[in-house]
Structure 1
Amino acid sequence: MEAGTIVGLLADPVRLKVVAALALGAGTLTDVAEASGLPLKDVALAARRLSRAGLVDRDGHALVLHADRFGEAARAAAATAPPAPQLSADPGQDAVLRAFVRDGRLISVPAQHSKRRVVLEHLVHVFEPGVRYPEREVNALLAAWHPDVAALRRYLVDEALLTRESGVYWRSGGYVEV
């Protein structure tokens, strides 16, 4: 079964409640109705649909959830998913960035200095060389990456990637594409 099919089935709140009740140990239509608070008729219709899809075995009033199908579908989807784009041409830097950057956002600031430096050198590219930025604009650009803009600002200045004077910042380090 494909992951998209499972997600489609579970997008219906009634079927989702039926699957949840089965996963928590309900074994009959009546048990599911009691556990989910759904009318027996709705449980029966949802069970029929889940059974046709192969997620549930139905024998009269007894129901069995095939929970293993969720994992199988997830593994199959992961195997066919396109590879994530490279964040750096350097394999070591790319590995660090993949660990800390998801969907264009910094999920956490690395504690280890060498890894933090890689992340900061990647992050500083949001600032154009030669452009001066007021602190408010720096905060707005950094907030798109991570909510702790003060820490990011401080790290960028401490690492000499940004320079600050009188509340105005400019890019002063990092690799520049020419």
Structure 2
Amino acid sequence: MGTDPDAAKLAGLLADEVRLAVVAALALGAADIDGVAAATGRTPTEVALAARRLGRGGLVRRDGAALQLRTEVFAAAARAAGEHRPPPEPLSPDPAADAVLQSFVREGRLTSIPAHRGKRLVVLDHLVRVFEPGVRYPEREVNALLAVWHPDTAALRRYLVDEGLLSRDAGVYWRSGGTVEV
């Protein structure tokens, strides 16, 4: 392979136990086949075969028995993978609200509860959509739905009630505000 491997090829090169051990030994300072063999408990033949494959893959430079890990390949593969990642799906059609949500929501979870009320309202309006209008929820179910978003269910529940997005009576909650999709 003449060019540096991309992230998928890099993962493929490291998917083999012997090649992974060779890379680890080189990263920790081994500099030749015998040094890698001593560090990994592999035979020099196993190390040489793995080093040859890693060299063809662009991850190791070989000069006779001397080996050098091309650590810059990892950074290049990570950069290239990041460049090809599609932009995140918008969480709101409103660009300002989407910017707030992108800051506080990662992989469907709330990373933190915003301290600023304006931002918190945007996040709460997004969260309250898990509650169906007209449905009554016992507190246990409210906690279960909110726990999917963030472990501090009591704070989220309190904010939703205080901001008029949920109403509460005798331990039963219902949606009383927020944006409704039509």
2:148 to 140, 144, 150: 144
Distance in 2 separating the partners of 1:112 and 1:20 = 46
Cα deviation digits, residues 34-93 of structure 1 (max 9, x gap):
334444443333222211101101122211111111111222222222221111112121
List aligned pairs for 1:31-42, cutoff 5 A.
Answer: 31-42=35-46
Instruction: Point out the more displaced range, 42-51 or 81-90.
Output: 42-51
Change (3 A) 1:14 1:138: farther
Distance in 2 separating the partners of 1:163 and 1:38 = 66
Distance in 2 separating the partners of 1:34 and 1:113 = 60
User: Which TM-score applies when normalising by structure 1?
Assistant: 0.89
Distance in 2 separating the partners of 1:39 and 1:151 = 58
Distance in 2 separating the partners of 1:26 and 1:136 = 57
Aligned to 1:113: 117
Distance in 2 separating the partners of 1:130 and 1:83 = 35
Alpha-carbon RMSD across the aligned residues, in angstroms, is: 1.8
List aligned pairs for 1:71-150, cutoff 5 A.
Answer: 71-150=75-154
User: Which TM-score applies when normalising by structure 2?
Assistant: 0.87
Aligned to 2:172: 168
Distance in 2 separating the partners of 1:80 and 1:133 = 43
Letter in 2 for 1:34: A
Aligned to 2:34: 30
Distance in 1 separating the partners of 2:116 and 2:37 = 52
List aligned pairs for 1:154-165, cutoff 5 A.
Answer: 154-165=158-169
Question: How far has the Cα of 1:145 moved from its partner?
Answer: 1.5
Letter in 1 for 2:163: E
Aligned to 2:49: 45
Instruction: Point out the more displaced range, 8-17 or 157-166.
Output: 8-17
Change (3 A) 1:29 1:111: farther
Distance in 1 separating the partners of 2:177 and 2:166 = 7
How many residue pairs are counted as aligned between the two chains?
A: 178
